Amino acid sequence: MRVLGIETSCDETSAALLSGSGDEARVESLVILSQDVHRVFGGVVPEIASRAHVTAIVPVVEEALREAGMVRGDVEAVAVTNGPGLVGALLVGVSFAKALAFALEVPVVGVHHMEGHLFAAALESREAVPPFTALLVSGGHTLLIDVEAWGMYRLLGRTRDDAAGEAFDKVAKLLGLPYPGGPAIEREAHDEAGRQLSNSYRFSRPMLRRDQRPGDADYYDVSFSGLKTAVLNAVRDSGAAAIEAPRRSAIARAFQDALIETLVEKTARAVRQFRRRRVVLGGGVSGNRTLVEAMSAHLAALGARVFAPSPRLATDNAAMIARAGLFHLERGERSGLDLNAFASMPIPGLAD
Ligand code: KG4
Ligand code: ZN
């Protein structure tokens, strides 16, 4: 089946063409247009995002078709993110997808954005398929999920407050680093100048205690707001009006270490409890090489392999939406032309 995927949940306008079936499906093209305009505001401005999607959606889809060497008539189904995300932004993709599907007389299917992230690694590695433990870490979500099969998900843990990417973005702001904060902090943490000073900072690992047991409410959940406050206090204690290197690098490194160690340990707990041999990462933060290396090293000891998508597929993209949509289409699922957009919605296939 040839599926056109469309993603407009946040600040990326993306379209992709996927062909084939199931885990054999191939990405024929992928176009991602990132809205740079939000940089000057230090974060995504919803109204601006919606308008930018309206301007970009037609050329982005046309470019995806051209890259795939296809024409509109080749599209056999349309898959579109219909939540969670910014409603105004989502509506652009959803309205476009429904109109196109109606005109082409092909089915349309709504896709949960986070289910899309679960499929991203599988587009690049034939082995990143269930059963696996999944850690999805993006700007809006931090989810630890046991994936027994595609469509069979058990939500183990989530963040109680800030998402992992959000913590990176907020801490970057505190340190005077640009948006998005993740890549900026990762670069800063690697700076040699901060290495000597790094022992002067050690932030406690949030929601991580040895006496936690499976079944405890905080065994899998995470929380990053305390860590953010610890960084704020460290910045204040430095006394300087603007935090400079090498102190800035040392704090960035200490923050990143605390966050990564927490994510690695929570993931390891899930691997042990469900005896999984594979871990799949997804979301923008999974583009963090320090995280992927720490995860791989730690989980190798438990006999589990770690799969992380390349940065292009780790962040928001329509290829993963087309792949998740294909899964639902192959099960005979279709959305009606009353398909709507939702700021929040439950992942389909969650066990209680
Ligand atoms: O998945 P994504 O593109 O968008 C959402 O669905 O939210 O994730 C964006 C988030 C941002 O918070 C950004 O700071 C973070 O991913 N991010 C990173 C890195 N690259 C992007 N965080 C840590 N290290 C990185 N290298
Ligand atoms: Zn995302």
CATH number assigned to the domain comprising residue 64? 3.30.420.40
| In the predicted structure, residue 197 carries a pLDDT above the cut 80 | no
Regarding whether 297 and 227 lie in a shared domain, the answer is: yes
Is the Cβ–Cβ distance between 161 and 148 less than 8 Å? no
Res 194 pLDDT > 80? no
351 falls within a domain: no
pLDDT tens-place string over residues 90-132: 999 999 999 999 999 999 999 999 999 999 999 999 999 999 9
Verify that 325 and 302 share a domain, yes or no.
no
Average pLDDT, the chain: 94
State the ligand closest to the CA atom of 320: 2
How many angstroms does the Cα of residue 283 sit away from the middle of ligand 1?
Answer: 7
* Residue 310 CA, ligand 1 centroid: distance in Å: 13
* 251-310 tens-digit pLDDT: 999 999 999 999 999 999 999 999 999 999 999 999 999 999 999 999 999 999 999 999
- Ligand 1 atom, smallest distance to 169 CA: 14
Banded pLDDT at 221 (limits 50, 70, 90): very high
Residue 277 has a CB neighbour count (10 Å cut-off) of 14
- Which of 36, 138, 262 is the best mutation target for the ligand 1 pocket, counting ligand atoms within 8 Å of the beta carbon and taking the most? 138
Q: Are residues 203 and 273 in the same domain?
A: yes
pTM of the predicted model, to two decimals? 0.95
Amino acid at the residue 2: R
pLDDT at 34 over 90: no
Say whether 3 sits in a helix, a strand or coil.
strand
Closest-lying ligand 1 atom to the alpha carbon of residue 166:
12
Residue 226 is predicted with a pLDDT of: 94
Number of the ligand 1 atom closest to the C-alpha atom of 289 = 26
Examine residue 336 and state whether it is found in any structural domain, yes or no: no
Shared domain check, 133 and 99: no
CA of 280 to the centre of ligand 2 (A): 15
Q: Which of 50-54, 212-216, 259-263, 344-348 has the lowest mean pLDDT?
A: 212-216
- The Å distance, Cα 285 to ligand 2 centre, comes to 10
Residues 225 and 138 placed together within one structural domain of the fold: yes
For residue 70, what pLDDT band results from cuts at 50, 70 and 90? very high
What is the longest distance spanned by two Cα atoms in the chain? 65
114 in the same domain as 231: no
Q: Which ligand ends up closest to the CA of 281? A: 1
> What's the CA-to-centroid distance between 302 and ligand 1, angstroms?
27
Confidence (pLDDT) at 5: 98
Among 218, 288, 302, residue whose Cα is nearest residue 257: 288
- Of these ranges, 15-19, 40-44, 210-214, the one predicted with the greatest mean pLDDT is 15-19
Whether residue 345 lies inside any domain: the answer is no
The closest residue, in CA terms, to atom 22 on ligand 1 is 182
Distance 248 CA to ligand 1 centre (A): 20
| Three-state SS at 91 | helix
Q: Confidence band (pLDDT; 50, 70, 90) for 41?
A: confident
- What's the whole-number mean pLDDT along residues 185-192? 91
C-alpha distances out from residue 26 to 15, 206, 274, 311, Å: 14, 40, 30, 18
Token duo for residue 67: 């890259």
Query: Is 37 part of any domain?
Result: yes
Residue 337 lies in a domain: no
Q: Are residues 243 and 140 in the same domain?
A: yes
Ligand nearest to the CA of 163: 1
Establish if 344 belongs to a structural domain.
no
What is the domain count for the chain? 2
Report the pLDDT value the prediction gives residue 85, as an integer from 0 to 100. 95
Ligand 2 center–CA 149 separation, angstroms = 21
Whose atoms come closest to the Cα of 141: which ligand? 1
So what's the pLDDT on residue 121? 98
Distance 340 CA to ligand 1 centre (A): 26
Per-residue tokens: 57: 């959606």
Q: What is the DSSP string of 45-67?
A: -HHHHHHHHHHHHHHHHHHHHHH
Within a domain: 275? yes
Supply the range of the domain harboring residue 69: 2-119+314-330
Judged against a pLDDT cut of 80, whether residue 240 lies above it is answered with: no
Tell me, yes or no, whether 340 lies in a domain: no
The residues, ordered by sequence, that sit 6+ positions from 242 with a Cβ below 8 Å of its Cβ are 176
Q: What is the DSSP string of 219-244?
A: TT-B--HHHHHHHHHHHHHT--SS--
pLDDT on residue 192: 76
212 alpha carbon to ligand 1 midpoint, in Å?
A: 29
Do 142 and 114 belong to one domain? no
Which residues are found with C-beta within 5 Å of the ion, ligand 2?
Answer: 138, 316
Mutate to test the pocket of ligand 1, among 9, 38, 168, 317 (most ligand atoms within 8 A of CB): 168
Same domain for 143 and 266, yes or no, is yes
What secondary structure letter does DSSP report for 285? G
Same-domain check for residues 148 and 294: yes
Report residues whose beta carbon is within 6 angstroms of any ligand 1 atom: 10, 138-140, 165-166, 168-169, 180-183, 186, 283-285, 287-288, 315-316
Q: Whose CA is nearest to atom 2 of ligand 1?
A: 284
Do both 39 and 146 map to the same domain? no
**113/47: higher pLDDT:** 113
Together in a domain, 147 and 244: yes
Q: What pLDDT score was predicted for residue 58?
A: 98
